[in-house]
Structure 1
Amino acid sequence: MKNKYSVILGNLGNTCDRFCKSYKDNPSTLEMLSQAVKIPHVEGIELVGTWDIGPDNVKEMKKRFADYGVQCVSIIPDVFGDKAYGKGTLTSSDPAVRQKTQDYLRQMSEVALEMNCGILNMWMAQDGYDYLLTTDYDQKREWLKEGTARLAKEFPTLKFALEYKPKEPRNFSFHARMSDTILAAKETECPNVGVTIDTGHGFVAGENVAEAIVLAKRAGDLLFHMHFNDNHGAWDDDMIVGSVHSTVYVDLIYWLKKTGYAGWLSMDQYPYRENAVDAIAESIEWVRRFEAIVDDHFDEIDRLVKLNDAVATSRFMRKALFG
């Protein structure tokens, strides 16, 4: 089965961090789109709501996508960049903010349908907490469940993929790791609510991402989407795939194939200082290299997994990577 590669559009232009407003001149949305479609093997684009798309430009973006012959892979609602969401979105203690969030997510769902996009990628970044003895964990998780379920039932043809991350911008996120995110998805009792794995988020969470893939499979094929990047394990550095990890990627790609994942492989990194097109292209080439190792040696990897011999696995990886 041919794998499908995509990129989050903002990766080509969002170059600010806590210390510098921009390390490069940020291109416009349309300029980023013209660059993204030139990256080898890219067939799909993810758009961030408000940054890239909304009701005011959805028709134009739909035409641009058609002209370029690319697919809108997902819409990522911007429920993280508005100061109104500083203490939560669907989990805010303020009912007016919860309603504002619900209305906005509904609007983005309609935009997704207009773009012929099958996934609303929900990174609920502000839904968490910072201080102890300040949060009713049970009540806020209930609000999160209710809001997600309401949306999923209203738009049954859309998939709602909950993207987890242990921290940032909050110190603790309600969708923090695969297990609690599976619980959040299943509590909605909606078959169109599942999970997005961001490899870097999993690394920061201390997860073995390959095992997280298996957990999602065992929970009922709940892995809806994949984001690829790399980091050093302490922070969501959003680096080039393969710049830190190698065996980890072979392992997780093996399990993606083993579990029958048929979704997109989307690059999600922020090359603040590097040439964005080149850095994203490099990530895709690394993913393709890891895929080739798995495809060419699938039966051998299958045997190694069953053999449970660390030395034999090490010998295989050394030869696969370096000859």
Structure 2
Amino acid sequence: MSSVKYSTRVNSFALGKGKKLPTGNEPILELIALAGTVPGLTSLELNYPEHFKHDSLEDIKEAIEKAGLDVPALQLRWPSPRFSNGAFTNADAEIRAEAVQMVTEAIDLCASFGADHVLLWPAHDGYEYPLQMDYTKSWVWMVQGLQAVADHNPAIRVSIEYKPADPRGRTILNTTGAVMNLISDTNRANVGVTLDFGHLLMARENPAQSAAMCLQAGKLFGLQLNDSHGVADDGLMVGSIHLAETIELAYYLIREGYAGTYYFDTDPVRENPVEECGMNIVRMGAIIEMARLLVRNHPNLPTGRALDSAPILWETVMGGKWNTTVSV
């Protein structure tokens, strides 16, 4: 288990006591120190430019080191209102150029941390109304923007974190298939995908199936773990609602050799954020161990028969042997 890297977001530590969203003025250095108190946490991911507004880069790096953490990736956030009508897909060429420039800055900053991964969440690249977005032109602009940032430094991986909606009514990248199509059209080795468990549920996709597709193509660069009731981006603790689906996801991650970070994107609105993050780590560690047992002890899974796989999953979670005798 020591080889597994567990990461989370700084903003989680600004929540709790009923607070759902950060104000943008949180004391980042204090939040980094708080993250360092979570048992088992190895890493922390920062948002650009959000987390670099008030403190120097040197102070942030020193705080990360004091907390005993590393930075495996930076996450790009295009701020509104400037990018509220889109970043790479904005109809204004000047704003599209600014969007590209912001990512290249994040790439350079990422390299200064010794990291190799920048995540892009195209939060505003979408629409609400018919005939609002030119889908064909927007797709071309998205491809061109990705190619530009990928070529800026081929040693830095760039991944897309898709979400089917929110804050937009719909997004241009609303399924795993759409993102994989974009990656194919971009045709750059350092462009891939980051899958968010809750976003996949919102899109009515199966996280394990999406991960298998991306792993097979060698394009699963990142993973964001949480849970939800499937309608909105609830950001609940790992395995709290969809435990079986989380175990299946981990099964494919282990079987196919995923070597990336296990990142928690959760919203401890009413929970103590340090305790909540610690619980995520304990739960995910147990789930990964279950997945390893499934891969090692059941090499013929999946068999294509639910009555073969269901008892194995039940025994893995509950312990003991499956009783095939049904009492009426």
TM-score over 0.5 for the alignment?
Answer: yes
In percent, how many aligned pairs have the same letter? 26
Q: Name the residue aligned to 1:294.
A: 291
Q: What CA distance in whole angstroms lies between the structure 1 residues aligned with 2:305 and 2:290?
A: 19
Q: Name the residue aligned to 1:150.
A: 148
Q: Classify 1:116/1:139 alpha carbon distance in 2 versus 1 (closer, same or farther; 3 Å).
A: same
Q: What CA distance in whole angstroms lies between the structure 1 residues aligned with 2:55 and 2:148?
A: 25
Between the two proteins, the alignment pairs up a number of residues equal to 317
Q: How do 1:152-167 and structure 2 match up within 5 A?
A: 152-167=150-165
Q: Name the residue aligned to 1:255.
A: 252
Check the 8 A contact 2:16/2:271 in 1, yes or no: no
Check the 8 A contact 1:16/1:22 in 2, yes or no: no
Report whether the alignment pairs 1:275 with 2:272: yes
* Superposed displacement of residue 48, structure 1: 0.8
Q: What CA distance in whole angstroms lies between the structure 2 residues aligned with 1:94 and 1:295?
A: 49
Report whether the alignment pairs 1:103 with 2:104: no
Q: What CA distance in whole angstroms lies between the structure 1 residues aligned with 2:144 and 2:298?
A: 42
* Superposed displacement of residue 43, structure 1: 0.8
Q: What CA distance in whole angstroms lies between the structure 2 residues aligned with 1:54 and 1:224?
A: 27
Q: What CA distance in whole angstroms lies between the structure 2 residues aligned with 1:108 and 1:99?
A: 14
Q: Name the residue aligned to 2:5.
A: 4
Q: Which runs of 5+ in 2 are unaligned?
A: 320-328
Q: Name the residue aligned to 1:169.
A: 167
* Superposed displacement of residue 14, structure 1: 4.7
Q: What CA distance in whole angstroms lies between the structure 1 residues aligned with 2:156 and 2:51?
A: 20
* Superposed displacement of residue 101, structure 1: 1.3
Report whether the alignment pairs 1:75 with 2:74: yes
Q: What CA distance in whole angstroms lies between the structure 2 residues aligned with 1:171 and 1:134?
A: 11
Check the 8 A contact 1:54/1:108 in 2, yes or no: no
Amino acid in the other structure paired with 2:7: S
Q: What CA distance in whole angstroms lies between the structure 2 residues aligned with 1:284 and 1:66?
A: 21
Check the 8 A contact 2:11/2:22 in 1, yes or no: no
Check the 8 A contact 1:11/1:269 in 2, yes or no: yes
Amino acid in the other structure paired with 1:7: T
Report whether the alignment pairs 1:233 with 2:234: no
* Superposed displacement of residue 301, structure 1: 4.0
Report whether the alignment pairs 1:64 with 2:60: no
Partner SS state of residue 12, structure 2:
helix
Q: What CA distance in whole angstroms lies between the structure 2 residues aligned with 1:45 and 1:201?
A: 21
Partner SS state of residue 50, structure 2:
coil
Q: Classify 1:22/1:138 alpha carbon distance in 2 versus 1 (closer, same or farther; 3 Å).
A: closer
Partner SS state of residue 65, structure 2:
helix
Partner SS state of residue 65, structure 1:
helix
Q: How do 1:40-59 and structure 2 match up within 5 A?
A: 40-53=39-52, 57-59=56-58
* Superposed displacement of residue 315, structure 1: 2.1
Q: What CA distance in whole angstroms lies between the structure 2 residues aligned with 1:154 and 1:54?
A: 23
Check the 8 A contact 1:72/1:115 in 2, yes or no: yes
- Of 191-200 and 6-15, the range deviating more from structure 2: 6-15
Q: Name the residue aligned to 1:191.
A: 189
- Of 292-301 and 118-127, the range deviating more from structure 2: 292-301
Q: Which runs of 5+ in 1 are unaligned?
A: none
Check the 8 A contact 1:162/1:175 in 2, yes or no: no
TM-score, with normalisation over the residues of structure 2? Answer: 0.90
* Superposed displacement of residue 222, structure 1: 0.3
Amino acid in the other structure paired with 1:267: F
Q: Name the residue aligned to 1:312.
A: 308
Check the 8 A contact 2:20/2:269 in 1, yes or no: no
Report whether the alignment pairs 1:215 with 2:186: no
